[in-house]
Amino acid sequence: MAKYGKWIGAGLGFAMGGPIGALFGFFIGSTFDTATVITNQQQSQNPASGPTGRGDFLFSLVVLATGLMKADGKVTKGELEYVKRFFRDNFGAEGEREAVSIIKDLLNKEIAVDQVAMQIRANMNIYSRTQLLYFLFGLAKADGNVCNREIALLDRISDLLGIDTTTYQSIKAMYYDDSDSAYQVLGITPSATDEEVKKAYRQMARENHPDKVGYMGEDIRKAAEKKFMAINEAYEKIKKQRGM
């Protein structure tokens, strides 16, 4: 397993089995023993309520990112550059190096996105799944444009991950700036009362606080702060508009 380093190697658990494990096995050039696969398959039968391993989260992100890149049927050099920048900005040089290495290995592999997403849902808590979707939207928007196929795939992934419509629309609105986007970020409409705005903000801030995913490492926590800041910015924008 020397092919990958500490960025993704710590905290691998459920990702060693199932469809994600098969892709990981391909990446490191070996397969896992039957006992390991059975253990993780048994584990995946019960939805996770506890913390997700750091390695599980990161490898799941890279696998889904690869599937997203392939959504339009082609992967260009420019797209790879955007991906490199995304991982560098969020996880530093080491994260960029390992993520791109894995993606290049997996580009010629079939990514069963539906099965991967269902495995993640069965083993990853809701806070981690929400952060995963946020990263995927950021990756899709990294080149300044999100095509219809990418949106369709993100919509399907969100549904398979068990993320509710309000949360999905909130994350989506963080990447689109229009007259209603601030309200969508908070999961409300412009007709909401001032008190409803305050309540929605408190709930969103509580559910999306960076500490929710802080156990997976400082880099993931720091990246999660961007989503938290978008929620605060949306609230401030609405308060200014309303004179609250």
Task: List, for residues 139-149, the tens digit of each pLDDT value.
Answer: 887 766 667 78
Helices (H) and strands (E) in the chain, counts: 12, 0
Residue, of 165 and 9, whose pLDDT is higher:
165
Amino acid identity of residue 225, one-letter, is E
Amino acid 5: pLDDT? 59
Residue 154 burial (10 A CB sphere; 0-12, 13-18, 19+): buried
| DSSP per-residue codes, 175-194 | T--STTHHHHHTT--TT--H
Position 195 confidence tier, pLDDT thresholds 50, 70, 90: very high
Amino acid 15: pLDDT? 81
Cβ–Cβ contacts within 10 Å for residue 140, how many?
Answer: 23
Estimate to the nearest angstrom the gap between the alpha carbon of 1 and the chain centroid.
25
Task: List, for residues 52-89, the tens digit of each pLDDT value.
Answer: 688 888 899 999 989 988 876 777 777 788 888 888 88
Beta strands in 47-161 (DSSP E): none
Amino acid 10: pLDDT? 60
Estimate to the nearest angstrom the gap between the alpha carbon of 103 and the chain centroid.
15
The least confident of 23-37, 100-114, 230-244 is 23-37
3-state secondary structure of 192: coil
Tokens 């990294």 found at: 142
∠ CA 121-123-125, nearest 5°, is 75
Cβ–Cβ contacts within 10 Å for residue 21, how many?
Answer: 21
